[in-house]
Structure 1
């Protein structure tokens, strides 16, 4: 029996979000034999593009913007899907599975996939100031690059992955860069004190000024343009350009009146289903991970792809829980970090391969008697091989005490 004969296959699919996860959902549906009509609704005018290069290759100028596009036009055409771009979704009626758009369209489908991602958080008052940026979209990256090329002093607010990457890229462009945020080291929340300490040394050696461990209370300005960042200590860090990289919020405001459960994302079951016929995928999805026994939401590129393939299967009647081992990477200067699994703040960390001082090592993270994660610093193959320890411990019964 072909997939189109299967009564469980929806007659029409609507993907809300022309993102990596949205595009991969379409590709996976076609690969699995789905031949019905598919519509992809996107709020940006651009064809689907990749976000990780924005803070690195696109921002530095190593890539032309077009290179970040995920697929050439002929590959998109071969999917036989309708792409409706530059028209944000503004509402969803789950009962009829109808999505309303800003232009007044009403798009109905038998299966709706929510792939709207996240929105960058901002500081109060920053919208009205020239020289203050967030970095989420391709357009954000291009506007920021133009400002960096014209400026000399950059302050990055936010010491997480994105803030650290932007600081590294801006230093390679020759700017005077200061990185600030409430935590004590770059990516301290993501990788813990041992590795974030090594990252702090790396940034300092490359000329980044670290003003960490204190909060930001606001911005200073003159004639509508930013002049600095005010810290909780009342110190002002002078700046021609400021990037605010203080995290992101799931893009669910358009779903406020939908009746779907919204709590740090679209809440889903273990099949990434928010309601009958409605699924969520990528950064916006918060689903029940059966291996962990709790709801999780992941903001990384690998999950966007893996979860999209799982959702495509669920739409076509496959009944399998989505239980990934998370993976993300970051490139800063000549350091390439690969992270598999979870790195809890209270984890016990030991270096199991390589040498910390040589900045080529694998660190293993343990919590509650289990291996929860591994991190490779310029040792991608070795870190990937250690991933199996996480898989084994996720599948094992909980330790007894």
Structure 2
């Protein structure tokens, strides 16, 4: 019987590794570890169902694929996985997430932590594919700093060289170009070339040390932390809004949260609002990414027209309709933002939207925007879903904003706003 790949991770150390250290050497240093290619978005989410005991992030993608999101690492920490970072992407994420329990290892992490270096370009490099061993095509800035310090110490021209190389961008930091710049500054380019070719990279030393530490430290559990708590509710002052009182079906006051709960007890009553509230978040985030969408005046006008129509249909004044929904006039644009955005997109042909992909006329504008958001954000669904337009859109909505790092988003508030904007808050709750 073959053991499924994901189950092979249970209780083991999982290491994400690329150009910082060769695979054969990593296996020798930690033969019990599961070694995977450089980490990218989704790699940790994919193992949470059968999690490893510990994860060591050494290398990760910066540009070729979507980088690992901080939120994804926080989810792994919350699941009880010990997270370590060293050498490259791991050192960067450990610096950012140390307050939540991720442990940074090695000299590169120390340099970031002390403020001696900053910026992901310090560890970024251009490299070949895995099939040829991630052969390095450029020199990481942190390694160049280390080599220059060993050869030239605090020589002013060495600092000038660093400043010059930092301005190039990581893909242009080749050995030949660096050596030529060193010669122009009066440094010994030949010696620098020899050192870059023969000296072990600082990132490599850190990767070796981190793997050795995990291999020698015995079973997991020593560094386990409970510092990270998933924000539920999200860190917003939402309780006053959800607790706001309205008149219930029997005329007695009841909170908006209780009204949502009353609806949720009826099968299917919130299913449409659930999907719509999530879809609205993606549409609004797409507008923020692209600089498109309705302006404040358009949203306010949409909200005013909607409230006027709802009130008229129910034989109410606008003021009484707002009071029934526990809504203040100044809150109308915020509550109707998602619906206004959806309406704005639906009124435009695809050719008028700034999409990075082309879609046929059979694809509705809103669905095209969802797919465009996924393309811009590097969100790739699993399996064959990515090849099917409708399935990709459904996958996005099912995962929801929190999956993609929107910690400011609150499910209950989003459901409340969508239910109000669609005039459905009291439609099926018996009042």
TM over 0.5: no
Structure with higher Rg: it is: 2
TM-score, reference length from structure 1: 0.23
Counting helix residues as a fraction of each chain, which structure ranks higher?
A: 2
Write 1 or 2 for the structure with the bigger share of strand. 1
